[in-house]
Amino acid sequence: MALDLHSSASFLSRVHLGNFYRSADADLPPISVAFRKPRPGRRFPGKVSVGHQQKPVAAAGMADAGTAERLHRQGADWGSSGSACSGRVPVFVMLPLDTVGAGGGLTRARALGASMMALRSAGVEGVMVDVWWGVVERAGPARYDWEAYAELVRMAEAHGLKLQMVMSFHQCGGNVGDSCNIPLPPWVTEEMSRDPDIVFTDRSGRRNPEYISLGCDMLPVLRGRTPIQVYSDYMQSFRDRFKDYLGSVIVEIQVGMGPCGELRYPSYPESKDTWKFPGIGEFQCYDKYMMASLKAAAVAAGNEEWGRGGPHDSGQYKQFPEETGFFSRNGSWETDYGKFFLEWYSGELLGHGDRILAAAEGIFRGTGAKLSAKIAGIHWHYGTRSHAPELTAGYYNTRNHEGYLPIARMLAKRGVVMNFTCMEMRDEHQPPHANCSPEMLVRQVKSAAKAAGIEIAGENALERYDEAAFSQVLGTSREDEEIGLSAFTYLRMNKKLFEEENWRHFVAFVKGMAEGGRQVSRSRADSGSSGLYAGAVIGDKFVAAQ
C-alpha cells in the first residue's frame, strides 16, 4: 500500500514498534517500520548511530549530517515561523519518562532509534525529554553526568529531529502518568533528612519530597548553596556541555519550577492515596520557611494574627468546595483575610518562578534556544465561584479575580513561552459532579497570553489516542487567529502510540497541525502516491522491503 504524507493521513501498516518497549532490547526480532522514500540521488544510510561508536549521520531522506545541521539552523526559531506567520503548528512528542534511567544510562537505545525514524516519517518536528536533576547530579554537588543526554542529542540530530529539553528539578513518581521512580539527588535527600522543612508541608505536617520548598529559595540550605544557585549551576553546566547544539538541535529549554515540572504547589499528590480527582487539594505553606514569610507579610499588612497559619477551614485533599467554610460559595476566600492569604500564597509562587527564569534568561541568552515554562491545566471545579483546586495550587483565579494574567506577565518579562496543558479536553466529556470546564480555562489562559504578548504552546494532559482528542487540539490551535499555538507537545511516546489505529489518528493529527490546525480525516484505504516505503530494522540495520 502506498502512502503520501503530503496529501493524506498516512500511517504505518502493522507497526510493531511496541515490541521494543521491553525491559531489555538485546535480542529483538525484526521490527517493521516505514520511512519517507529518499529522493533520487540521495543516499539512505544503512546504519543509524545509537551509541558513542559512530558519528552522527543523516536521517532518512537527508544527504548527510551537514545537511541535517543546515536544516536545523534554518528552522531553529520554529515558533516565529509557526502559527504566528504561516499557520503551521509544529508537533513534538514526549519521550518516555525513563529514557535516561536513574542510573544515568540511555534505556532501550535501539527502540528509541527506530521510534525516532517513525516519528520523523510522520512529519513530527522533534521530541521532548526530561533532564532529571536526580540523574545528572546524583554523584554529589556540582558533579554532573551528561553523557546519556549527549548520546540522545546526537541520536536526535542524526534523525533530523529537534529537541525540547526539560530542566526537571522535581522527583518523578507519585503523580498522574508517572510510570517510574526517579528521586531527587541522594545528597539532596540527605539534606531533607537533616532539615525536613526544606520540602513543602501541609497543615497536618505531611511532607512532600517532590520538590524543594520555594520558601528557602534564597537560603543556603543545600550544602552552602541556595536552591536557586543549585538550579543555576546545573543550567550553566548544561549550557557549557551542549553549547554546540543550542539553537540548532536543542531548540527549547523548558525550565522546571515545581512538581511535574509545572509552576505550582504540590497541592494534589496522588502518592499514598493522598488526593483523588476531583478533590480540592490542600495549601502547602506549613514548613518553617513559608511560615516565616507568611508571618512577615501579615506584620507588613498590619494584621499580625493573619500570619499564624493558613485558613483553618479550607478542608482536606479529597473534599469538594461546598464541604468547606473557606471555598464554599460565600466562603471566607472573599473576606479581607482570604484575599490577603491568597495574594501572599500566589505571590510567593510568582516570585519563585521569576527567580528561576531570571537565572535561566541570563544563562541561555544568545544561544538561540527558546525558554518555556509549564502551567498546569487545573480544570476541575472551574465552574464554581472559588475555583478551589486552582487556589491551593497557587493560581489566584476566582470568579472575581484574574489569576493567569499575572503569570503571563511574569513570563513576558523574561521572554518565556507559556506551555499549557489539557488542550485535548472537552467540557462535555467531564463528569458533571466535578464542575469541570477545560475549554473555558484554555480560552482564559490564551487570552491572558495574548494580553501579555507572549507565545502559548500546548500539551495534552492525559494519554489520548482517539480522534476526538486530536480534533479538539486541532480546533483549539486555531480557535483565534491572533492567539494560535506556537507548538504542541504530544504526551507520550509508548507502544500504544504505534498501534495501527492510534498511529493512523496521530499521523493525521500531525498533518492537520502542519496545515494550520485544519481538520484532517482519512479513510483506512489509501491509494494515493507513495511518499513512504516499508522496511524493517534488523539489529541496527535497515533493510528495504522487496
Q: How many Cβ atoms from other residues are within 10 Å of residue 546's Cβ?
A: 4
At 81 the three-state DSSP class reads coil
Active site residues: 262, 459
Query: Which residues are bridge partners to 164 per DSSP?
Result: 128, 252
Q: Which residues contact 396 (CB under 8 A, 6 or more apart)?
A: 342, 343, 345, 346, 390, 403, 406
Q: What whole-number distance in Å separates Cα of residue 137 and Cα of residue 440?
A: 40
Confirm or deny that 170 is annotated as ligand binding: yes
Decide: 460 and 490 in contact? Cβ < 8 Å. yes
Quick one: DSSP state of residue 39?
P
Give how far Cα 397 sits from Cα of 29, 226, 326, 349, 391, Å: 53, 30, 15, 13, 7
Q: What whole-number distance in Å separates Cα of residue 456 and Cα of residue 138?
A: 33
Set of cell numbers at residue 149: 543526554
Set of cell numbers at residue 54: 559512530
Spell out the SS3 assignment of 171-232. CECCCCCCCCCECCCHHHHHHHHHCHHHEEECCCCCEEEEEECHHHCCCCCECCECHHHHHH
Q: Which residues contact 364 (CB under 8 A, 6 or more apart)?
A: 235, 239, 246, 253, 371
Confirm or deny that 460 is annotated as ligand binding: yes
Confirm or deny that 379 is annotated as ligand binding: yes
Confirm or deny that 233 is annotated as ligand binding: no
Question: In the block, which residue shows the cell 537505545?
Answer: 109
- 43: closest CA among 545, 542, 546, 538? 542
Question: In the block, which residue shows the cell 463528569?
Answer: 431
Confirm or deny that 381 is annotated as ligand binding: no
Confirm or deny that 374 is annotated as ligand binding: yes
- 346: closest CA among 462, 214, 223? 214
Which residue spans within 101-153 are E strands per DSSP? Answer: 126-132
- 187: closest CA among 250, 144, 248? 144
Torsion of CA 253, 258, 261, 267, to 10 degrees: -160
Q: What whole-number distance in Å separates Cα of residue 170 and Cα of residue 181?
A: 11
Q: What is the chain's alpha carbon radius of gyration, rounded to the nearest angstrom?
A: 24
Confirm or deny that 492 is annotated as ligand binding: yes
Q: How many residues does the chain have?
A: 546
Confirm or deny that 511 is annotated as ligand binding: no
Set of cell numbers at residue 88: 503551521
Confirm or deny that 421 is annotated as ligand binding: yes
Q: Please state the residue numbers annotated as binding site.
A: 130, 170, 178, 374, 379, 421, 460-461, 492
Sequence ranges of the binding site for substrate? 130, 170, 178, 374, 379, 421, 460-461, 492
